[in-house]
A and B are shown apart, each in its own frame.
Chain A
Amino acid sequence: MEILMSILIGVLITAGTYLVMSRSLLRIILGTSVIGHGALLLLLTTAGLKEGAPPITNIEALTYADPLPQALILTAIVINFATTGFFLVLAYRAYKELGTDDMDKLRGIDDE
C-alpha cells in the first residue's frame, strides 16, 4: 500500500507540475490544486498507513492512527481552499480586465 501510494503521489505531483508550467491561468490554478492533493497524501503516507483505529478514543482499540499529521492536513486543506479561492477570483478578474488568461500575453512590457 505504501508503494502504491508513493507512486500515486508521484503521478499527482507530475501532473500538477506540468499544469503549473502551462500557458493558461486556469490550468495553473488547477495544477496547484493537484499538487496540493499530492502533498496531503504524502503527509499521510509518511506518517504510516492503516496502523490501528481512527484516532477517536470512543472506539475501543489497541492502537490508533497518528492524529498529528491528520491535524496538519486538516489545516492544509482549509488553507489550500482559501488560497485557491483567492487565486481563482484573481484569475477571473485578470480575465475580465485584460480579456485573456494566456500567461504569455499577460507578460509585462519589455524594458520597463
Chain B
Amino acid sequence: MALNKDSNVYTIAFATIMVVIVGGLLAFVSMSLKPMQQANVKNEKMQNILQAIGIEETNGVTREEAGAKFNKFITRRVTINYKGEIVSDKTANDKIDAQDKLDAFNIDLRKEYSRYVKPIMSRNKGDDAKIQELLSNSTDIHFPIFVCEHGGEKYFIVSASGKGLWDDIWGYLCVKSDGETINGSVFDHKGETAGLGSKISETWFEDQFIGKTMAENGAYLPLSVEKPGKDLNNHQVDGISGATFTGIGVNEMLERNLAVYYNFFKNNPEFTK
C-alpha cells in the first residue's frame, strides 16, 4: 500500500473528507424531510384542538385532514395573558405565520409552562399566596383561546399545561358559551408511565369531562380528578388506578389554567356572545 495509514496527514485528510461527506448528507436528509416533519407537528396540534371541541364533525378527525378542517371550524384565534388582556386577535382569514409568536396557534404550551410557570412555582414552594401573586403579575405567560362557531353555537377551546409524574402534561378543553361548562377535552403527555399515567390521553378519560362545569353558584370551582370508584359530583371525574401522581398533576394544571379563562369569560361577557 502506497499510503501510510498511520501518518498524521492521512488521518487528518480522512477525517476531513468524512466530516464533509457526513455533514452534507445529513443536511440534505434533514432539509428534504423538514417540511414533512413540520407538517406532522402542525397537523397534530390542529388535530388535538379540533378533537377537543367535542362536536360530532371533529371527533374522529385524522391528522391528515386536520389541516383543511381547522380553518373551517376555528374562526378566531385569541391570545390573552394572566390578567385577561387580549394580546393577539386573529381570524381564520389571517394565515398562521410561524414567526408570529403571539398567534394563539403558535403558543407552545410546554414552553409556557417550563419557561415561565415552573421557575416561579418551584422557587416559592409552599407559599401559595406568593406563587399566585407572582403568576398573576407575569405578562410572559400566554393563554390561547380558539373560537369555533358551529350550528349557531360558539365553542371556546382553551389550554392547560403542567407537570405529571415524570414530565410535562398538557391538554385542550372546550368551554361552551356559558363560560363554564366543558364540552370536550384532549390531553397529552411527554413521558407518563405507559399503560398507567399515559391513559390520560385515552378517550374514556377525556370524555369524562364532557358536561362537567368549573363553577358553582357563580364562583370558580376547579375540576378535579378523583381516586377511581368514588361518587362523583358535577366537577369531578374518575382517576386512573395506579397513576395517582399523574392525577395530582392534572388537577394542579386544570385548577391553575382554567381559573384564568374562567375569569376572562366572566369579565368579558361580550366575548362569549
> Do these two chains interact?
no
Q: Which B residues are within 8 Å of any A CB, using their own CB? A: none
Please give the residue numbers on chain A whose beta carbons come within 8 Å of chain B beta carbons, in ascending order.
Answer: none
